[in-house]
Amino acid sequence: MTLNDHLAVALKDARLSNARQINQVRAVGAGAFTIVLLANVYVLGAEDLSLTLIPTSIYFLMSLAFAFGSKVSPFVTQLSRFAIPVYDMPTVFIIQMINMETSPNPGNISEFSIAIFVCLLLLSAYTLSARHIFISLGVAIIFEQLLQKNAGIELGARIFSPLIFCLTTWICVWSGSNRLKLVETVALANVRRLRLQRYFSPGVGEILEERDEDSLALGKDCELSIIFVDIRGFTSLSERLSSREVIEILNTYHAHMVEVIFRHGGTLDKYLGDGLIAYFNAPVGQEDHAERAVSCALDMEKEMSEINSWLASKGRDPIKVGIGVHTGGAIVGDIGAPHRREFTAIGSAVNVTSRLEGMTKKVGRTIVISATTAGLVTGVDWEELGSFPIRGCAEPMSLFSPKSGGEVSPKN
């Protein structure tokens, strides 16, 4: 889903949520007016208001229907977004025209109508649609002009109500624009947060949230300690399993591996079916990136015991992995088409790491580490595997494998 898609969904959700709130406000307001009208007619004896009792009660009942209907029906919610100019304002106009027939001072009624129309215009701002607001403005001006004309107010005095309505509309459009910007800001923040959670450990993600988005998009050269891990023989294994079983195994395996990567402060580059690539020292610098990479590889090897215990509980055969670790220069940044980018690393060091993982089969070790990485880390009992030609490297590369764990520490 593209960023524009996220914004469109967020805006649609916000408009529907606001439509439900408008329906609730309408029901409360109509109920309050109905109660006041009942008190005036039956308690205070205002007989001149009795003619509006039925239309006001109907308006209240319809408002309740909108409020409850929008809670259970998306169609009612969508329909109610147009209710202010199509339903509320015409109803107010009809009720006020009825009031004028029995009122000794129709001018007061037309003036009171201005306040009602202003409230409805302000409420229309919550539709987050400038079109709806301007339609409501036009309807309010027409109905108020008719009310004032019917009340006998002269043309010169009738000019003020459109000015008031236009000022109110300007406030509505301005506030609506600010609300749209807020929706966009929140949507962008959510997209960015999800993106950071996908690639980076929580600690790194928190740091990056404070950075400008463009700083991540621009590529930069840096030294990385890269890990490439892959399940051995998974293609033949998957042929004996159902698709559901394959997905279950891969999801469990990746969940464990990524948790180890994030625990050491690494960055997930990408999934490669039954393998994955991760690296250290970007986008946040880590002076001990080689140490972190080696510690991560050792913990991945240990994590396989837990994964295989889970597989045994399911009656399945254990799996083995190969892990290659190398330190070298690479370019990191947002790479891809405008609508689908990934924060990734490219360069010869990435390719070499992939080939070191392939060497694990040849040398019969779970972890194979380049001399460059091994030279940056102490506290590990290294086994020198020998010098091997690596495709893409001009000279043979000395390879190492840890004999056992221990306190991994950076080499001074």
What lies within 8 Å, CB to CB, of 386 at 6+ separation is 363, 398, 399
The CA angle 244-245-246, to the nearest 5 degrees, is 90
389: which 2 tokens? Answer: 């030609």
Give residue 412's pLDDT: 46
Residues making up the chain, counted from first to last: 412
114: which 2 tokens? Answer: 């201005």
Give residue 377's pLDDT: 94
Give residue 215's pLDDT: 52
Give residue 402's pLDDT: 93
pLDDT in tens, the chain (412 residues): 555 666 677 677 878 888 889 999 999 999 998 999 888 888 888 777 788 888 999 999 999 998 898 888 888 888 888 899 999 999 999 999 998 888 888 888 888 999 999 999 988 888 878 888 899 999 999 999 999 999 888 888 888 999 999 999 998 888 767 766 776 776 666 666 666 656 565 555 555 555 555 555 556 889 999 999 999 988 888 888 899 999 999 999 999 999 999 899 898 888 888 999 999 998 888 899 999 999 999 999 999 999 999 999 988 889 999 999 999 999 987 777 766 667 788 999 999 999 999 999 999 999 999 999 999 998 889 999 999 999 878 889 999 999 864 445 555 4
Give residue 210's pLDDT: 55
Give residue 183's pLDDT: 66
Q: Which pTM does this prediction carry?
A: 0.57
**Amino acid in position 335:** I
**Does the structural domain 214-410 have CATH classification 3.30.497.10?**
no
